[in-house]
Amino acid sequence: MVIKTLPIPTTKTNGNNQLGPKKPSLLSQSVSCPPDDRSEQHRLPDAADLRRMCIITKSDLNRIYDNLDRRQRDKDAVRQELERKKEMAERSAQITKQWPNTIIGARERKLELKKIRDQEEEERKKVLDLEEEKLAAERRREQIEKAKQLQYYETDRVRTFHSALLLTEVLKERDLQIEMKKRIEQMRQADENEECQRYQEAQNEFYKTEQEKIENKAKDRANLAKYHLAQMDQRKTQHIQEKHKDQQEGDEYRRLAEQYALEQLELEHFKKVTQKDTKNMYDKVLDDKQKIKQMEQQIDEEEDDELRVYAEAKKKIARLRREKELQAHQ
């Protein structure tokens, strides 16, 4: 808990206080009381005015401290996030550094090969320099020996004698130097040829590997294209079969429709013929009935006169009726 006093008026006295009181100056005072100090927890500051006092809780105090430390915490969080991203980038770079199928990996391999070639070239140069230094030391030693001999044989008595010998030795030394230069040039040329051969072999190996990769990719693409063509052929064959089947079904439906239409025509013709025959038979029956009725009337009229004719006519009528009924039933 924190007890804080608001600004209170205070007066200062100095040597000129006889002139009158001055305006009070404002002071602010805050007293922090630790939670574990029971004796100081409820103690009020000296000369504290309770009307100008503000009491806050521990949660409010923590909130105030949190607001004060928020900027530092945000800075720490940003710094930690940057460090984490940097560490992840370094780790990713270390992981992908050894990958052979990346541009950076190929560049690193080329740089490594160049570095190895430079180191080998430097070693060869060092060997050549050592050999040249040995040869130079040997020549210096020989020259010193010759100088000593010249000093020894500086007299006129031996100067003429050794002039021819000195010329011979100079020519011999010159031949030796020329021979040494040739040998050095041959060694350097051999080293360069060997280096070129190794570089060419490495380059051929790299090109061979890349060519194998390209061929494998081409084979994969060819196999994929072949698979797609097979699928297309299969779908085309299936489509043709389905089309043929649909055509067969259409022909069958057309044949059935034609057969049905023909049967309908035959049925219609049969109905027409049957209706016509029935009408003719009906008309004939009606005509016969009319004739019979007329004959019966005639017989009735002539009954008294011709009984015999009537009986025969009746028989004839009965016979004709039976025949007509038989024809009607047929």
Is the domain of 74 the same as that of 139? no
Please give the pLDDT value at position 94: 77
Is the domain of 144 the same as that of 223? yes
Is the domain of 152 the same as that of 221? yes
Rounded mean pLDDT of 239-243? 86
Please give the pLDDT value at position 4: 45
Q: How many domains, the chain?
A: 3
Please indicate, yes or no, if residue 241 is contained in any of the structural domains. no
Is the domain of 202 the same as that of 138? yes
Please indicate, yes or no, if residue 322 is contained in any of the structural domains. yes
Please indicate, yes or no, if residue 69 is contained in any of the structural domains. yes
Please indicate, yes or no, if residue 49 is contained in any of the structural domains. yes
Is the domain of 136 the same as that of 41? no
Determine the straight-line distance between the first and last CA of the chain, rounded to whole angstroms: 131
Please indicate, yes or no, if residue 261 is contained in any of the structural domains. no
Name all contacts of 272-279 with Cβ < 8 Å and 24+ positions apart: none
Is the domain of 229 the same as that of 137? yes
Last residue of a domain, one of 180, 200, 235: 235
Last residue of a domain, one of 218, 235, 252: 235
Is the domain of 202 the same as that of 295? no
Please indicate, yes or no, if residue 79 is contained in any of the structural domains. yes
Query: CA–CA separation, 247 vs 272, rounded Å?
Result: 37
Please indicate, yes or no, if residue 112 is contained in any of the structural domains. no
CA distances for 103 relative to 19, 107, 111, angstroms: 90, 6, 12
Please give the pLDDT value at position 82: 93
Please indicate, yes or no, if residue 50 is contained in any of the structural domains. yes
Is the domain of 153 the same as that of 218? yes
Is the domain of 210 the same as that of 299? no
SS3 state at 252: helix
Is the domain of 229 the same as that of 134? yes
pLDDT digits (tens, 9 = 90+) for 261-310: 888 888 888 777 777 777 777 777 788 788 888 877 776 666 666 666 66
Structure-model confidence comparison of residues 89 and 5, the more confident one: 89
Is the domain of 46 the same as that of 139? no
pLDDT digits (tens, 9 = 90+) for 188-237: 888 878 888 888 888 888 888 888 888 888 888 888 888 888 888 888 88
Residues 6+ apart with CB under 8 A from 284: 324
Is the domain of 134 the same as that of 215? yes
Mean of pLDDT over the chain: 75
Last residue of a domain, one of 202, 219, 235: 235
Contact present, 53 and 4 (Cβ < 8 Å): yes
Torsion of CA 213, 218, 224, 227, to 10 degrees: -130
pLDDT digits (tens, 9 = 90+) for 60-99: 888 888 888 888 888 888 999 999 999 988 887 777 766 6
**Which range of residues forms the domain containing residue 52?**
2-8+26-86
The CA angle 310-315-318, to the nearest 5 degrees, is 125
